[in-house]
Amino acid sequence: MRSEIVRVYKAVHTWTGIVAGMALFIAFYAGAITVFKEPLVRWATPPAAAESAAQVVPLSEAHALVARTLASQPAAARELRLHLGLAAEPVERLEWEVREEGADEHDRLSSRHFTATLGDDGTVHAHEVERSHLGELIDVLHRVVGLPVDVDETRIVMGVIAALYFLALVSGFIVLLPSLVKDFFALRVGPNLKRMWLDAHNVVGIGSFPFHVVMALTAAVFAFHDGIYVVQDRMIHDGKLGAIFQGRRGSSEGDPRDPATMVPPDEIVARVTELAPSFEPTMLQYVNATGPKAMVRVWGHDTRALEHRALGGFALVDPYSGRVVSTEYLPGRQSAAATVLTSIFALHFATYGGQPVKWIYFALGLLGAWLFFSGNLLWIESRRRKAKKRVANGAIPVQRRDVRLMAAATVGVCLGAVCGISLTIVAAKWLHGHVADLNAWHRIVHYVAFFAAVGWAFFRGAARASVDLLRAAAATTLAIPLTTLLAALVPSLGMWARTEPGALGVDVTALVLGLVFAGMARSAARRVQEGPADSPWSAHAPPDPEPVAVTEPAVEAELHGEHAG
Amino acid sequence: MGSAERPIRRDWISKTLAGALLGFTLALGCSGIFARLVTSLPPPIEAQLAMWMVTPIWLGVLAGSYAFASGRRAWLWLGAANAVVFGVFAAVRAIF
């Protein structure tokens, strides 16, 4: 490896990293939590009353409800979900969404959810149900690097960040290549803190390199795929891409069909499980059920196979004939080429290997967030002005303005995201029943906490704010299990404490993370007070160039002798 | 190492543009060849695979473009690579 090339890529690594680092911190912290989106939503949802669960129509008798709902509700006819297992929420048998007019297809935060029941006279009663958007909000923060909505424009921002992220990965790898073996097996813990942080940054970076390559490339594809398809349609597919994806299932013209003549749902499920015994169906998704291309996706899980996304995979069934039309997305029964595609998705969404892989992804996600945080710290440390030892009464140098601002931005943005996410999770219980639109409040709570943290970091300076914000991160995160505990001890508060493993897992994880943040706050406090004063991370560093450096040299010298000598 | 090394010009803007633009067209050309040559797959799967292969090639070329000795060389080499790939694509298109 030519040393000249290494120098070029070192510059690439530095600048792509510093531009993308904070956005990637948010994407990874929120992404790690998104792995456990479903248990988190369960934690945030009050348990359904036992009687409402008892009222739900059994699957064997659901046919009339499905058929009449499809016939009378146009929104349900477009897309209707029939939940099979009702061991926990949602307790409604049927569910459909109504999106806001003109909403982006990825923007589910604005959608309203409906369900239907049959009256004694057989008429359909549709009514709106509340769904917690907490998991979706954190997922959106993950998908568009902390921005509030997942639309075309924010996806382009995310795509650019993903491209910078990929450049940072490749360049970081090239920089490290000449000394790969030496550096990978070295964690030099000692007085040279910068060396230790750099070693740790390298170990985490190399150790999770394949994970990060997968994430960078898939994220870039998720951002740009619409545009790539448009260009490829003209260039490669001669404008026939739409027809290719539509398939050869006849024209979309035709008279509406009568959903009463469909095969009953339990029979549809039976057809699929007969074909794939290890597949466990969870939900039927009726798509355009009254049209000529009516289809049912039988979603479910197969723990022994790769799955396309968090919902699992599906078999495609014609609801009028009951025939299984396609197993192209059925876990374990895909063709080789389709398995390649699904494995790409599975590698991003951690939808393979069950719970252990989910925990590995959670850890890799948090480590990734730490990787970007430490990258910013190293950028700052490389630009630190050190006091000259040989000058006897050497004044403590004022740190560069850009270094001080970057330090403040790093702690403000990163810890602000942590505080914002923890606080908005806690808000799910405290605000429930007290505000009209809890889902809107989730967003408000997150961004108020986030921007307050960023403002505080610039106001107080990076050193002091790092301690304050780590304490805030610990407090808000510990508030998650404490809220549950309080809810269990004081039922009159109107909150709830769920005891399913998933919901309890949220509490235990938050407890551990909160204690970790508290530990970090302690060592940060020590560093800020007792560490060398010629650092942006010292409370004793001269905050402003003119007054301290010029008017109080005596104090400076004293500090220097005490802390940095 | 040493004096035999030709210095590498930084040329950040020129190399980034060459890698981003010509890398993208190069990746599209490769996906086009793939889509035309591989005909045994179900069309929706093939179209998706052709889309997925664009980004790794594109960003791989972008990442590699900083190793060129200069921005001018990046444009020349990547331009030549594009000419080859699109030549093959045109040939494949005509034959298959």
Interface contact flag, A221 B52, Cβ < 8 Å:
yes
Q: Count CA atoms closer than 13 A to A94's CA, side-chain side.
A: 30
What per-residue confidence (pLDDT) applies to B1?
42
**Residue B38 belongs to some domain of the structure:** yes
Interface contact flag, B59 A216, Cβ < 8 Å:
yes
Interface contact flag, A232 B28, Cβ < 8 Å:
yes
Residue A530: count other Cβ atoms within 10 Å of its Cβ. Answer: 13
Q: What are phi and psi of A286, to 5 degrees?
A: -85, 125
Coil, helix or strand at residue A314:
strand
Whether A374 and A366 have beta carbons less than 8 Å apart is answered as: no
H/E stretch holding B74 reads helix B71-95
**Residue B5 belongs to some domain of the structure:** no
CB contact set of B74 (below 8 Å; sequence gap of 6+): B11, B14, B15, B18, B19, B65, B68
| B chain contacts of residue A341, beta-carbon cutoff 8 Å | 45, 48-49, 52
List of E strands, A61-219: 79-83, 94-98, 112-118, 124-129
What per-residue confidence (pLDDT) applies to A223?
95
Task: Report residue A539 as tokens.
Answer: 């409370």
| B chain contacts of residue A166, beta-carbon cutoff 8 Å | 59, 62-63
> Is the dihedral angle over the CA atoms A356, A521, A506, A488 positive or is it negative?
positive
Instruction: Give tens-digit pLDDT for B46-70.
Output: 999 999 999 999 999 999 999 999 9
Of B8, B35, B44, the CB nearest to A245: B44
> Is the dihedral angle over the CA atoms A498, A133, A75, A328 positive or is it negative?
negative
Please give, rounded to a whole number of angstroms, the shortest distance from the CA of A96 to a CA of chain B: 27
A324 strand-pairing partners: A317
Interface contact flag, B32 A167, Cβ < 8 Å:
no
Residues belonging to chain B: 96
- Distance separating alpha carbons of residues A20 and A158, to the nearest angstrom: 10
| B chain contacts of residue A4, beta-carbon cutoff 8 Å | 5, 7-8
Q: What are phi and psi of A2, to 5 degrees?
A: -70, 135
Interface of B with A (CB under 8 A): 1, 5, 7-8, 10, 28, 31-32, 35-36, 41-52, 54-56, 59-60, 62-63, 66-67
Of A9, A229, A341, the CB nearest to B66: A9
List, in sequence order, the alpha helices (H) in A431-500. Answer: 438-460, 462-489
Coil, helix or strand at residue A94:
strand
Task: Report residue A135 as tokens.
Answer: 């998991």
> Is the dihedral angle over the CA atoms B20, A107, A426, A498 positive or is it negative?
negative
Whether A312 and A278 have beta carbons less than 8 Å apart is answered as: no
10-residue averages of pLDDT along chain A (565 residues): 86 94 97 95 83 73 89 90 72 82 74 85 85 92 91 93 97 89 75 86 93 97 95 92 74 74 92 91 91 90 86 92 90 90 94 92 97 94 79 72 93 97 97 91 96 97 95 98 96 90 94 98 93 86 55 40 35
Chain mean position to CA A501: 21
Q: What is the DSSP letter of A312?
A: B
**Residue B4 belongs to some domain of the structure:** no
Question: Number of folded domains in chain B?
Answer: 1
The chain B residue lying nearest A234, using CA atoms, is B32
Interface contact flag, A11 B10, Cβ < 8 Å:
yes
Provide the whole-model pTM.
0.90
What per-residue confidence (pLDDT) applies to A359?
97
Mean pLDDT of B30-36: 95
Which residue range(s) make up the domain with B37?
Answer: 12-95
Interface contact flag, B1 A12, Cβ < 8 Å:
no
List of E strands, A84-203: 94-98, 112-118, 124-129
Interface of A with B (CB under 8 A): 2-5, 7-9, 11-12, 163, 166-167, 170-171, 216-217, 220-221, 224-225, 228-229, 231-232, 235-237, 241, 244-245, 247, 328, 335, 337-338, 340-341, 344
What per-residue confidence (pLDDT) applies to A201?
94
Classify A400 in phi/psi space as left (phi over 0), alpha (psi -120 to 50) or beta.
beta
| B chain contacts of residue A235, beta-carbon cutoff 8 Å | 28, 32
- Distance separating alpha carbons of residues A527 and A536, to the nearest angstrom: 11
What per-residue confidence (pLDDT) applies to A547?
45
Q: What is the DSSP letter of A98?
A: E
**Residue B3 belongs to some domain of the structure:** no
Q: What are phi and psi of A128, to 5 degrees?
A: -75, 145
**Residue B18 belongs to some domain of the structure:** yes
- Distance separating alpha carbons of residues A32 and A371, to the nearest angstrom: 14
- Distance separating alpha carbons of residues A235 and B46, to the nearest angstrom: 15
Q: What are phi and psi of A56, to 5 degrees?
A: -65, 135
Whether A284 and A269 have beta carbons less than 8 Å apart is answered as: yes
Residue of A158, A167, A228, A240 to mutate for B, most B C-beta atoms under 10 A = A228
Nearest to A268 by CA among A228, A331, A322: A322
CB contact set of A317 (below 8 Å; sequence gap of 6+): A268, A271, A272, A295, A296, A297, A298, A323, A324, A325
Interface contact flag, B43 A244, Cβ < 8 Å:
yes
Interface contact flag, A217 B62, Cβ < 8 Å:
no
Whether A229 and A242 have beta carbons less than 8 Å apart is answered as: no
Classify A473 in phi/psi space as left (phi over 0), alpha (psi -120 to 50) or beta.
alpha
- Tell me what ipTM this predicted complex has: 0.94
Interface contact flag, A11 B35, Cβ < 8 Å:
no
What per-residue confidence (pLDDT) applies to A22?
96
Of B32, B44, B55, the CB nearest to A236: B32
| B chain contacts of residue A163, beta-carbon cutoff 8 Å | 59, 62
> Is the dihedral angle over the CA atoms A65, A71, A73, A77 positive or is it negative?
positive
